[in-house]
Each structure stands twice: as C-alpha cells, then as structure tokens.
Chain A
Amino acid sequence: MVIKGKVHKFGDDINTDDIIAAKYLVTTDERELGRHCMENIAADFSKQVYPGDIIVAGKNFGCGSSREHAPLAIKGCGISAVIAKSFAGIFFRNAINIGLPFLELENTEDIHQADKLEIDLSNGIIKNLTQDKIYKTQPFPEFLQKIISVAGLINYVKLKEGADNENRKRKA
C-alpha cells in the first residue's frame, strides 16, 4: 500500500492527552474524536488535515494513557500514517491492533512541516518528494506483520480461531 500526503510536524513526548483530551472520551466515534485531535497543543489541527496527510514526530509518541481513542482520533481526522523516532508501548500495540500505519525513523528532524511524502508500507521506504530524499525504515517483526496483514488483532484472532477449529476437526 502506498500513502501520499503532506507532513504535520510535532515534537517529542506527544502524549495521549495531547492527541485526544479525556473530556472527549464519552464516544467511540472515530470522526467525532478526530475533530478534537491535538486540540490542546494545536488548535484547529483537524481542520488543517487533508485525507492522506502524515504526522511526523520526535521520540516517545503516544505516551501516557492507554486510550485507544488516541489512534482512532488520528485516523478519524484523516491522518493516514504516523512517523516518529519511537513510540510509547501501549500506543504502539494499539496502532498495530487497529491497523493505523506507523513507522519508526531515527532522523525525523530531516523532514519538515508541509513536506510531501510518499510511503510504501510494503517495504517501509519513505520518499520525501519535496526534498527529493529517500529514508529506509526497519520492517516490522514477522509476528506483527501477521496482524498488520489482516488489518488488525480481531481479524487475526478470528482467522486463528477458524484455523484451530479446522485442526480440531481434522484430528477428530
């Protein structure tokens, strides 16, 4: 899958209260959450996002609470992928589990606000169309690729359950 979009830059330690404030956690609706994405630190952020745009941030993106509403809000406002130096543990697993594309990249400071990027998720290669540069990221470990390839954890479990039942039938 190839993603193309404009960059919205953020710094280090962007936490889940930044991404979606707790007062909005009275809904599970992605689009409603999306309207308030990053509100505390960048008012009107959601209005500046065009579908396909990309967040590029520093270290420890998504630290803080476990709220899955955070990756949902990012998706809901139209962001197609997040690139950061590192991701906080629970945000990392939430993004894998719900199928929000994200990539770890060491030198995110080389990418600037409003740069145009093209990301090939199948090989982890990021093209900076504005600067005419290419960045390579590490592929996800095999186990995570399995979850990503079926678009999330619940599908993975359903397929696994199906396979287990098949095995049981065969053994019987």
Chain B
Amino acid sequence: MGYTIAEKILLAHIDKNDIQPGEFIEASIDLALGNDITAPLAIEEFKKAGFKKVFDRDKIVLVPDHFTPAKDLRSAQQCKFLADFAREQKIRNYFEVGCVGIEHVLLPELKLVLPGDLVIGADSHTCTYGALGCYATGVGSTDLARAFIDGRCWFRVPNSLKFTYTGRLRKWLTGKDLILYTIGQIGVDGALGRVMEFVGPVIRRLNMDERFTISNMAIEAGACAGIIEPDEKTLRYIGSAPRRFKIYKSDKDAFYEKAYEYDVSELEPQVACPYLPSNVKPVGSLKDVKLDQVVIGSCTNGRLSDLRIAAEILKGKKIKSSLRLIVIPATQKIYLEAVREGLVEVFVKAGGIFSTPTCGPCLGGHMGILTEGERCLATTNRNFVGRMGHSHSEVYLSSPAVAAASAITGRITHPQEV
C-alpha cells in the first residue's frame, strides 16, 4: 500500500521507516506560528515551565494580526508582550504594524512556508498552507509552547479523504464556492480529524489564491489539514525559494478512507447562512436577504485576485446607501498593489472604506462590529452565533464576487445581476 501526500510529509519528519493512520507520532516541525491572541498564552507557559531559550529562533513566526493596530489597551498589552518576547529571543520573523499582514496570507507571500514542510500554528486556519503541498495544521497555545521548547509536536496520523472536482466552473464561480459547497455536502464534522485532499481538473485550473481559499476552510469541515498537490502553478507562485524544499505526491495505491467526486458544471454561487458554515444555499434562493454590512477580506478572501474581482463588479457603481462596505487587504504588499491598480479608488468612490490589514471584524474584534439585529455578508470563514459582534446579529459567507454584487443592491445577489 502506498502513501498519501499527508502521510509522506509526516513520515519525512519522524525517525521511522513506516507510518500508519491512527498511530501517535512526535514529529520535528519546520515552522511554528503564533498570533497576538494565542502566542501570549504560549509564552506564559514557556516561561512558567522555566525555559529560557527557544529551540530555533528562525523556525518561529509571531504575527500580531488579530486585534491590530491595537484595538484597546488590553490588546496593546498582548501585542507588547509578543514584541518583547520576539526581541528577547531575537526572533526575526516578528511583524510589527507596518509590516504585518494576516498571517495565513503573509507567510506564503514571504516564502516562509514551502512545499513538503510540516507547519503548526496556534490558529485554526493554519491549514491554509496545505495549498502549497505542505502539511499545515492548527494547534493550541500549549502545543506552541512545547514547539518553542524542543521543536516537536504530537500527532495522531490522520486518515485522508479525497475530493475530486470535475466539469467546468461557470463565470463568477470561484474556489470559495467550491469549498462552501463541499462543507455544505459533508457538514462541519464531515472531515473530523481527517486530511482533505483536493484533486481533479477544476482544482488544477484554479489560481493559487483560490487554492489557498479552499485549503483555508478545510477546518470548517473539521479537517486537520487541507492539501493540494503542488504543480507548475505552485512552483511559479514560489519562484526562487530561500531554501530547499521537497515536492510530495500521493501514491496511486494510497489509502483513502472515503472519496467524493463532484461535477461542478451546474454549480451556482454558494452562500453559507447563519449559524454554521455548512448551512449552505445557492445564491438564487437568498434574494430577499437584506444586508447592513458587507466585509471583503480575511485569511480566506483578502488576496489580490479577491480585491480585483470585487473592484471589477463595483467599478463605476455605488453601494446601497443604507449599507457599509468594508474592504480589508490581507497584507501590505496587497494593499500597495491595490493602490497601484486603482482598486482602492473604485472601493472608495463606490462608498466603501479601505482598511489596513487586520483580522478585525472576522472574529468580532474591531473594524466593523455588528450590533443587535444587524446582518452582514462576509468573505470570511465563520458565521457562528455572535461571531462578528452581538449574539443577535447574523453573518452570511460568500465569495468576493457575490459580496461585491450584494453591496450594490443591499441584498444577497448573484454577480450576473449587477
């Protein structure tokens, strides 16, 4: 029996000749990530246990992206705690406001994550990097503290599920629609503790931004990783790499616990309704859902191609006067490119605002909190009760194209209508 790409990567990071789903391993990791919410807890654990020095300062990345620029005094304290630790440990990959971007967009952009890597992050959307053909998984703060100590992490080797997409996507259909559709099919625990491996001609035709979106939301189906095998597009995205990396591919006779195949030729844009990412409906069935706010951004859809598609729809148009449009580029590089290409002008002239990079509203932090009874359509990844603010507010999830079209009409709208 052969191995899946996930098994091959895990095997390459342990001192053994064989690996089986279900067994427990302690693997050496290539990179450990923490943010302004999760890293403070890890740093406290690390210090409380009496450790003085991290195992390898170049394999630790600290990204204060959630509540930055500091939204209040207590988040400022958490950020300072992070900054002080980075300075004390001489961690180069700490990103102050001005350099910081949303972690899961920033790390691939800076080539800190490469194919074949084993990455852990104290953030559930660490699975995003699976789009590069690496094994990346979300862990907790104590796992991060442990990685600070000895560069290792425990795993139960997961089974893999294979998702094959065939057919041709219609206009306005994106990676976001594919992953929302998939979560709608299998549910929020449909891949619980498993690896989702995304394959097939439709995936191959997607650009890297869309592939990141798909891997990003694997966690919303309960998966520990969402992996796409590297191809020529992956290599072109990486360009000249700062270090060596290895391309792994699944064997033809690898074991998959289950295989799903979707012909997506007839697929309509998908929208996840409150209060689970699996509560997915086609856009056409939600025409009467009126909106107070639209958010375009996040680690799911704050990349340049997301902003371009939104600007294409909003160009020369005005958003509904009763609605707030908040556009958030994921990194400073994307911010600058959006300025250069005139995208920012499109958003502002349409009546929207353009923010500095931050996770902000996605988790109800800042930059667009909802009050009682308000409803938002967001390109983010979660729509749980109270996710963006008040416990009686609602979040719907969609692609940037649907979000932009809906900002114009003030209700959930198919992009072909505007």
Contact = CB atoms under 8 A, between A and B. Distances in A.
Interface centre among B122, B140, B189, B364 (most CB of A within 10 A): B140
A114 interface: no
Interface string B125-165: 01000000000001111110110011000101000000000
Contacts of A153: 142-143, 145-146, 154
B178 to A, nearest CB: 21
- Chain B: interface residue count, which band? 35 or more
A18 B386 CA distance: 8
Interface centre among B142, B143, B387 (most CB of A within 10 A): B142
Given A23-B364, A23-B365, A86 B140 contact: no
A95 B191 CA distance: 20
B1 interface: no
Interface string A25-62: 11110000000000111000000000000000001100
A22 interface: yes
A150 interface: no
B394 to A, nearest CB: 13
A90 B142 contact: no
B49 A154 contact: yes
Interface residues of A, number: 42
A152 B142 contact: yes
Interface string B8-47: 0000000000000000100000000000011011001100
Contacts of A143: 24, 154
A157 to B, nearest CB: 5
Contacts of B138: 66, 90
A6 interface: no
B222 A89 contact: yes
A76 B48 CA distance: 19
A154 B49 CA distance: 7
Contact of A63 (B44, B123, B188): B188
Interface string B378-399: 0000101111000100000000
B140 A68 contact: yes
A145 to B, nearest CB: 11
Nearest to A28: B41
Contacts of A98: 140, 142
Interface string A92-118: 111001100000000000000000000
Contacts of A67: 37-38, 140
A89 B45 CA distance: 21
A141 B78 contact: no
A125 interface: no
Interface in A62-94: 63-69, 86, 88-90, 92-94
A150 to B, nearest CB: 12
A13 B385 contact: no
Interface centre among A41, A90, A144 (most CB of B within 10 A): A90
Contact of B364 (A21, A39, A161): A21
A147 to B, nearest CB: 8
Given A17-B363, A40-B385, A69-B41, 17 more contacts: A15-B384, A17-B382, A18-B385, A23-B365, A26-B67, A26-B74, A41-B391, A66-B121, A68-B122, A68-B141, A69-B37, A88-B189, A88-B192, A154-B45, A154-B149, A157-B150, A161-B149
Interface of A: 13, 15, 17-18, 21-23, 25-28, 39-41, 59-60, 63-69, 86, 88-90, 92-94, 97-98, 141, 143-144, 147, 152-154, 157-158, 161
14 contacts: A21-B386, A28-B40, A63-B189, A68-B142, A90-B139, A93-B140, A94-B141, A97-B142, A141-B24, A143-B24, A152-B142, A153-B142, A154-B146, A157-B149
- 6 smallest CB-CB distances across A and B, nearest first, come from A26-B74, A143-B24, A94-B140, A40-B386, A97-B142, A60-B189
